[in-house]
Homo-oligomer: A and B are copies of this chain.
C-alpha cells in the first residue's frame, strides 16, 4: 500500500495486476495452493460462473422459490452436489428431511390422526385409541379412513405438504409480505409436523432419513441443533430428553456403520428463547448434566426462535453464567445477529454471545455493523454460520449479492455455509446454500480455493476435538481428491 502513486504518475499495469491479485488473495481460500488438476477444474468453474453471471434471470438476484428451478439446471449446482462439502454445522432437528417424505412415509403409517386448527394449520397425532380433541382444532380424522374414501389422494397429500413448508409456487412477496407474516407461518409449519416427528418410531426414521439426505448431498458430518423434545408411543407413553439424545446417538452410530465415510453427528441442545429466566436456569442445568453424561454426542447449548421477538442473551445472563460459575464445561453455539434491528437490545446479542465465549455464531447477519464484535470473532476464530437461503426466505435480504457475508468472504473471515432449515425453505442438504454463496455473494472472483476452504472450515470450526478433526479432514481430503480428479479434464 505504501507505494501507490502520488497522483502525478499514470498507474503501472503491473502494479495494478499485483493489487488485483492481492485483493483476490484476501478472500476465503484466496491463499490455498491449487494442484494442477484443481486448477483445471477451477478454470472450468470460472467459465461456468461467467456464463451464469451474464444471464438475465440470474438466480441469486431472485427469491429462492423462483430461483430453485433455474439452480437445478445449473452445471455449477450439479458440481456442488457432487463436491464433498465437509460438515453441516447449522441445521435444525425438524427441518432436515423434505416434507414429501413426511407425507408419503409418516402420514401413511397406521393410527395417524389429523385435525385442522382455526388458523388453517394442520396437527397430527399417532394413537392406538381415538385421541382427545385439541382446543381450537377440528375433530380428529383417521387418515387411513379419509384416504380410503378418496379416488385420488395427490391433491390432498400436496396440501398437507404445503402446510408443513414455507416453499410455494406462488409469488413469495405476496404470500409473505413481511417478517411478521413469514415467521408466523414458519412457526405454524413446525407445529404442523410436530405430532409426526415426535412419534418415537417416526422420530428415529426421520433422523435416519435426514442423515441420508445430507449424505446423498455429499455432507459427511452434522451438528444438529435439537430441541430434544419428549417423544411418544402409540399407547400415549412418553420418553424423556435422555432417551431422545440416546436415540440420536444410536441412530447416528447405525447410520455411520451403514455408510462408510460418514463421520457422524453431534447435538447442540436448544431451547426456545421466549422462555423466562427460571426455565432457562433449569434448562442450563439439564444441559450441563447431558453434557457430562453424553460427552461424545453432546456438542453444547443454544437458543432458537425469532431473535427479534425473543429475549436477548443478556436477559439470561445469570442462567448462562452457571457453567462458568461451577467450573463445568458447556460450550455455547449461540444464534446471534439474525436481525435488522441495529442498535436495539436484541442487536446486542452478537457482542454478548462473544462475551459468553460462544464457540460459533449462528447467522451473524448483523456482524458487519458491529466492528468490535467482528474483530473479536476474527481474532478468536469464532466462525459465523452463514445460512443464505434462510436469511432470504425470512426476509433479511433480497438479492443474495447484497448478503453481508459478501464482505466477510472477501476478507476470509472465519465462516461456514449452512442451510438452517432446508426442508422449510424447499432446499435440501447444503448444495443450494453453497450455490447462493459461491455464485451469489462470492461473485465471479470466488473460486475452487474458496469452495475448498469452506469445506475445510466446516471441519476446522466443528466441535470435534483436534484428533477427530484431523481424522475427518483426512477422510474429506480423500473424497475431495477423487472429486477433483473425476471432474477436471
Q: Which residues of A contact B (CB under 8 A)?
A: 1, 4-11, 15-16, 19-20, 22-23, 26, 53, 56, 61, 173, 180, 314, 317, 320-321, 324-325, 327, 340-344, 347-348, 351-352, 354-357, 368-373, 375-376, 379-380, 396-399, 401-402, 404, 406-407, 410-411, 441-446
Q: Which of B6, B53, B343, B352 contacts A445 (CB 8 A)?
A: B343
Closest residue on chain B to residue A348 by CB atoms: B20
Q: A10 with B324: in contact, given A342-B443, A368-B406 (CB under 8 Å)?
A: yes
Q: How many whole Å from A10's CB to the nearest CB in chain B?
A: 3
Q: Which of B61, B317, B356, B369 contacts A410 (CB 8 A)?
A: B369
Q: A397 with B401: in contact, given A342-B443, A355-B4 (CB under 8 Å)?
A: no
Chain B neighbourhood of A10, CB < 8 A: 317, 320-321, 324-325
**Contact (Cβ within 8 A) A443 B7:** no
Chain B neighbourhood of A325, CB < 8 A: 10
**Contact (Cβ within 8 A) A23 B342:** no
Q: Which of B11, B327, B443 contacts A317 (CB 8 A)?
A: B11
**Contact (Cβ within 8 A) B20 A53:** no
Q: How many whole Å from A348's CB to the nearest CB in chain B?
A: 7
**Complex-state Cα separation, A5 to B357, whole angstroms:** 7
**Contact (Cβ within 8 A) A342 B406:** yes
Q: Which of B11, B20, B180, B357 contacts A6 (CB 8 A)?
A: B357
Chain B neighbourhood of A351, CB < 8 A: 16, 19-20, 23
Q: How many whole Å from A481's CB to the nearest CB in chain B?
A: 27
**Contact (Cβ within 8 A) B340 A61:** yes
Q: How many whole Å from A30's CB to the nearest CB in chain B?
A: 10
**Contact (Cβ within 8 A) B23 A357:** no
Chain B neighbourhood of A355, CB < 8 A: 4-5, 11, 15-16, 19
Closest residue on chain B to residue A375 by CB atoms: B1
Chain B neighbourhood of A373, CB < 8 A: 23
**Contact (Cβ within 8 A) B20 A343:** no
**Contact (Cβ within 8 A) B406 A407:** no
Closest residue on chain B to residue A351 by CB atoms: B19
**Complex-state Cα separation, A20 to B348, whole angstroms:** 8
Q: How many whole Å from A417's CB to the nearest CB in chain B?
A: 17
Q: How many whole Å from A11's CB to the nearest CB in chain B?
A: 4
Q: How many whole Å from A177's CB to the nearest CB in chain B?
A: 11
Q: Which of B7, B317, B407 contacts A369 (CB 8 A)?
A: B407
Q: How many whole Å from A63's CB to the nearest CB in chain B?
A: 11
**Complex-state Cα separation, A6 to B357, whole angstroms:** 7
